[in-house]
């Protein structure tokens, strides 16, 4: 049975009714079934990565510093990395969602604070290697050593992220467009307040509800696809709720 769709009041001035949409999707836990970085750390991480995770969760360090330190603790070869990535599952409905969105003329971007090589590899394995990916850059520095670079970082990012999702949304909006953000958890909180509309699941649902962010709940990309036509045809989130 279809759940009712909670729509909260708009958090920003509505874009013109004919403004084009860009869809920006988180990856870990949204497109992928599990968090890929966490799975790598659990399998290949040297001692110390959990302490960095705990410091990030306490707000003592930003996600960029946390991820950089954790990636430096990965002890794996390229072959081991590739074999592990081949086991990563994605939402079985995401490919259909991406195809349908692009058939409607809606650009789909993967915007993640995760690792570009991991994301691109998994997407390619599932026939989606042509999707643009904005994420942290993985660099191999030795046979079993790695470094994380953050080409999309923003010094003003309030979360001190490696990839400022708010800046990615602003880039699309600065050209007169609207952003539909699809996410699930903590790393998506900040950008949800900047996007024009949000598809939310897990922790992101309560965050959007508590802050009056215009959103619809989804459980998987099958439900997201069902919501998509009405979302992109609405004049504003407020008019959809009326």
Least confident of 5-19, 106-120, 134-148, 160-174: 5-19
Say what the pTM is. 0.89
Residue whose tokens read 């800046």: 167
pLDDT tens for residues 118-142? 999 999 999 999 999 999 999 999 9
Q: What percent of the chain stands above pLDDT 90?
A: 84
Encode burial over 71-92: b for 16+ CB neighbours within 10 A, e otherwise. bbbbebeeeebeebbeebebbe
DSSP output for 174-215:
HTT-EEEEEE-SGGGHHHHTTSSEEEE-THHHHHHHHTT--E
Query: Given a cut of 50, is residue 30 above it in pLDDT?
Result: yes
**Mean pLDDT of all residues in 190-195:** 96
Please state, rounded to an integer, the average pLDDT across all residues of the chain: 91
Q: CATH: 3.40.50.1000, 1.10.645.10, 3.30.450.20, 3.40.50.720. Which one for 21-241?
A: 3.40.50.1000
Beta bridge partners of 138: 148
Query: What whole-number distance in Å separates Cα of residue 186 and Cα of residue 204?
Result: 7
The pLDDT value recorded for residue 159 is 86
**215-217 and 21-25 strand pairing:** unpaired
pLDDT tens for residues 32-57? 999 999 999 999 999 999 999 999 99
Residue whose tokens read 């969602």: 97
The domain limits of the chain are 21-241
Which parts of the chain fold into alpha helices (H)? Answer: 36-44, 49-57, 63-71, 78-85, 94-103, 116-125, 165-174, 189-192, 203-210, 221-233, 237-241
Query: What whole-number distance in Å separates Cα of residue 213 and Cα of residue 195?
Result: 9
Rounded to 10 degrees, what is the CA torsion of 121, 123, 126, 128? Answer: -130
On the 0-12 / 13-18 / 19+ scale of CB atoms within 10 A, 158 is exposed
pLDDT bucket at 18, cuts 50 / 70 / 90: confident
Count of residues in the chain: 242
Question: Is residue 76 helix, strand or coil?
Answer: coil
Question: Is residue 158 helix, strand or coil?
Answer: coil
């Amino acid at each position: 049975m279809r759940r009712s769709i909670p729509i909260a009041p708009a958090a920003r001035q509505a874009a013109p009714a004919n403004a084009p949409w860009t869809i920006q999707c988180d990856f870990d836990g949204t497109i992928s079934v599990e968090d890929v970085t966490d799975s790598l750390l659990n399998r290949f991480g040297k001692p110390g990565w959990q302490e960095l995770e705990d410091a990030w969760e306490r707000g003592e360090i930003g996600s960029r510093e946390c991820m950089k330190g954790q990636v430096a603790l990965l002890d794996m070869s390229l072959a081991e990395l590739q074999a592990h990535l081949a086991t990563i599952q994605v939402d079985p409905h995401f490919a259909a969602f991406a195809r349908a969105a692009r058939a409607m003329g809606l650009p789909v971007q993967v915007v993640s604070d995760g690792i570009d090589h991991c994301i691109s590899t998994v997407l390619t394995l599932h026939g989606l290697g042509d999707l643009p990916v904005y994420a942290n850059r993985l660099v191999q520095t030795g046979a079993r050593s790695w470094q994380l670079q953050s080409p999309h970082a923003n010094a003003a990012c309030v979360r001190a992220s490696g990839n400022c999702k708010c800046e990615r949304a602003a880039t699309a909006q600065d050209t007169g467009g609207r952003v539909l953000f699809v996410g699930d958890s903590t790393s998506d909180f900040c950008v949800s307040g900047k996007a024009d509309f949000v598809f939310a699941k897990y922790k992101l649902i309560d965050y959007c509800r508590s802050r009056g962010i215009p959103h619809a709940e989804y459980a998987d990309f099958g439900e997201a696809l069902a919501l998509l036509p009405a979302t992109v045809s609405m004049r504003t989130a407020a008019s959809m709720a009326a």
